[in-house]
């Protein structure tokens, strides 16, 4: 095998043979294929695509580059969830303990935020003492004790993907659906879960801006899961408006705890329950009632055990930003649009997110919403509250919100978009 012939095959619109895929992934992981060569191949894949068999083999090669986890010793069926990311997407926090309270084991490997999308690990690290990095043995121990664990992926899990993802990030090839799908699914399949539910988001605050692109990604990932023996389904969900009423790390933890206590915003509760039902069904626990587990406090009990098992103090006060600034409604009427991407960028600029992986984040920074599309608002009354420890960021964050808010006269009829748009299996 040689790298140039592999690049040329895909550059000219050809299909990569299994042997070419296996060789190039292995050689790149070992450093025999240079970054500039893999960049050329990634761009050729972005431009010319891959068929289902190619994507399945590419995914298998990335899985084979590292270790595979095994949860077969657990007395419960395993179920996991992956979200493609959005603004205010705190769903993992109430969902993992909720599904565990209903009888499944939830091994949730999560990531950090980058740009306008928040990261689950960043949110949980706003809890005093909580640890994201666990060994495989520690992860298994937390699963046995609490039924759910949320942690960072270990170094040995799909190392080819870690290397390729960093390269795609700086070469303009992040948007390739075959590469997105194989990146996500290689880690999830290597993780060893028995079933997987995908939350694939569409809208301004998502990586997939249109429903058509999100649907294609969802179908590709469902196919990959099926081809690798993991029962996989997907929900296509709306990300044109932020989820819930908060975007920011400690702010979202607070809101998640409200959901676990039986309250919280309606859209967060609805999506949490919808995903929980899908996960329980995929795990064969069809008789379980997640709504009951929220109402009776059993999901909150699992949350407290899970946080404590990872060194956190679930009773400790959450960090609060030192400075606040209120954005008021410009007129009276019905709020018809609150753009998710703009809110995500504002939260990022306030310090809740990062531009580079090594950047620090502010635990208390973010955006708090006082209204959602469909609500009546009054001129001069609070619409958003901006939170940060560095008040010089306010102007930059407010700039991101310019043109992101539409208010129509009070008599205008308005129908909200449902949070779940489609089921894909």
Residue 402 and residue 269 in one domain? no
Kindly write down the DSSP assignment for every residue of 263-323, as one continuous string: -S-HHHHHHHHHHHHHHHHHTT-TT--HHHHHHTSHHHHHHHHHHHHTT--TTSPPP--SE
Residue 300 and residue 182 in one domain? yes
In a domain, 70, yes or no: no
Q: 338 φ, ψ to 5°?
A: -140, 100
What per-residue confidence (pLDDT) applies to 183?
Answer: 93
Number of domains making up the chain: 3
Paired residues of 152 in beta bridges: 110
Residue 301 and residue 357 in one domain? no
Residue 98 and residue 207 in one domain? yes
Residue 283 and residue 348 in one domain? no
Exposure b/e, 68-77, CB count within 10 A at least 16 = b: ebebeebebb
Could you say which of 242, 275, 309 is where a domain stops?
Answer: 309
In a domain, 192, yes or no: yes
Any catalytic annotation for residue 187? yes
What per-residue confidence (pLDDT) applies to 347?
Answer: 97
Residue 272 and residue 218 in one domain? yes
Residue 250 and residue 196 in one domain? yes
How crowded is residue 404: how many other Cβ atoms within 10 Å of its Cβ?
Answer: 17
Q: Smallest Cα–Cα separation from 158: which of 64, 24, 253?
A: 64
Catalytic residue, from 90, 112, 116, 187: name it.
187
Catalytic residue, from 90, 123, 168, 215: name it.
168
Residue 304 and residue 328 in one domain? no
In a domain, 69, yes or no: no
pLDDT per residue of the chain (425 residues) written in tens, 0 to 9: 899 999 999 999 999 999 999 999 999 999 999 999 999 999 999 999 999 999 999 999 999 999 999 999 999 999 999 999 999 999 999 999 999 999 999 999 998 887 788 899 999 999 999 999 999 999 999 999 999 999 998 888 899 998 998 898 789 898 899 999 999 999 999 999 999 999 999 999 998 999 999 999 999 999 999 989 999 999 999 999 999 999 999 999 999 999 999 999 999 999 999 999 999 999 999 999 999 999 999 999 999 999 999 999 999 999 999 999 999 999 999 999 999 999 999 999 999 988 777 788 999 999 999 999 999 999 999 999 999 999 999 999 999 999 999 999 987 888 888 999 999 99
Q: Which residues does 400 contact at the CB level (< 8 Å), separation at least 6?
A: 342, 345, 346, 349
What per-residue confidence (pLDDT) applies to 336?
Answer: 95
Could you say which of 246, 275, 309 is where a domain stops?
Answer: 309
Residue 183 and residue 301 in one domain? yes
In a domain, 382, yes or no: yes
What per-residue confidence (pLDDT) applies to 12?
Answer: 97
- Length in residues, the chain: 425
Catalytic residue, from 10, 57, 81, 82: name it.
82
Q: 110 φ, ψ to 5°?
A: -125, 175
In a domain, 318, yes or no: no
Q: Tell me the CATH number at 337.
A: 3.90.1170.30
In a domain, 145, yes or no: yes
In a domain, 71, yes or no: no
Q: Tell me the CATH number at 38.
A: 1.20.970.10
Determine the Cα angle at 316 with ends 311 and 319, to 5°: 105
Residue 342 and residue 302 in one domain? no
What is the DSSP secondary structure assignment for residue 332, as one 8-state letter? S
Residue 183 and residue 266 in one domain? yes
In a domain, 173, yes or no: yes
Q: Is the pTM of this model over 0.85?
A: yes
Any catalytic annotation for residue 183? yes
Catalytic residue, from 83, 182, 183, 186: name it.
183
Q: Tell me the CATH number at 167.
A: 3.40.1030.10
What per-residue confidence (pLDDT) applies to 56?
Answer: 95
Catalytic residue, from 161, 199, 267, 339: name it.
161
Q: Which residues does 324 contact at the CB level (< 8 Å), separation at least 6?
A: 385, 386, 387
Any catalytic annotation for residue 122? no
Residue 298 and residue 376 in one domain? no
Any catalytic annotation for residue 11? no
Could you say which of 253, 277, 309 is where a domain stops?
Answer: 309
Q: Which domain holds residue 45?
A: 3-49
């Amino acid at each position: 095998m040689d790298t140039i012939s592999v690049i040329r095959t895909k550059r000219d619109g050809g299909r990569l043979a299994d042997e070419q895929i296996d060789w190039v992934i292995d050689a790149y992981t070992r450093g025999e294929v240079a970054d500039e060569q893999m960049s050329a191949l990634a761009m050729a894949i972005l431009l010319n695509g891959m068929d289902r068999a190619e994507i399945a083999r590419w995914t298998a090669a990335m899985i084979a580059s590292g270790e595979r986890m095994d949860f077969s010793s657990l007395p419960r069926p395993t179920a996991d969830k992956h979200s493609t990311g959005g603004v205010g997407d705190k769903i993992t926090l109430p969902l993992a303990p909720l599904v565990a309270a209903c009888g499944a084991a939830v091994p949730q490997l999560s990531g950090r935020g980058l740009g306008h999308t928040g990261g689950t690990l960043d949110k949980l690290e706003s809890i005093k003492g909580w640890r994201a990095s666990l060994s495989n043995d520690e992860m298994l121990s937390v699963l046995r004790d609490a039924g759910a664990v949320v942690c960072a992926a270990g170094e040995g899990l799909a190392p080819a993907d870690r290397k390729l993802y960093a390269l795609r990030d700086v070469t303009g090839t992040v948007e390739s659906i075959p590469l997105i799908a194989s990146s996500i699914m290689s880690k999830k399949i290597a993780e060893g879960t028995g079933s997987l539910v995908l939350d694939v988001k569409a809208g301004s605050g998502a990586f997939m801006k249109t429903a058509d692109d999100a649907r294609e990604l969802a179908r590709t990932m469902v196919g990959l899961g099926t081809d690798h023996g993991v029962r996989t389904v997907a929900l296509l969900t709306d990300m044109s408006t932020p989820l819930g009423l908060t975007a920011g790390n400690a702010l979202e933890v607070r809101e998640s705890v409200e959901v676990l206590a039986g309250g919280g915003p309606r859209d967060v509760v609805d999506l949490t329950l919808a995903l929980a039902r899908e996960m329980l069904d995929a795990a064969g626990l069809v008789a379980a009632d997640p709504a009951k587990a929220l109402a009776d406090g059993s999901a909150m009990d699992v949350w407290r055990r899970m946080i404590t098992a990872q060194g956190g103090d679930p009773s400790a006060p959450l960090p609060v930003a030192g400075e606040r600034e209120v954005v008021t409604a410009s007129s009276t009427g019905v709020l018809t649009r609150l753009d998710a991407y703009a809110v995500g960028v504002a939260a990022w600029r306030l310090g809740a997110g990062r531009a580079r992986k090594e950047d620090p984040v502010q635990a208390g920074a973010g955006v708090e919403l006082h209204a959602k599309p469909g609500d009546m608002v009054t001129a001069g009354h609070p619409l958003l509250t901006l939170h940060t420890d560095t008040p010089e960021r306010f102007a930059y964050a407010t700039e991101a919100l310019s043109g992101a808010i539409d208010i129509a006269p009070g008599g205008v009829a308005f129908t909200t978009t449902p949070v779940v748009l489609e089921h894909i299996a």
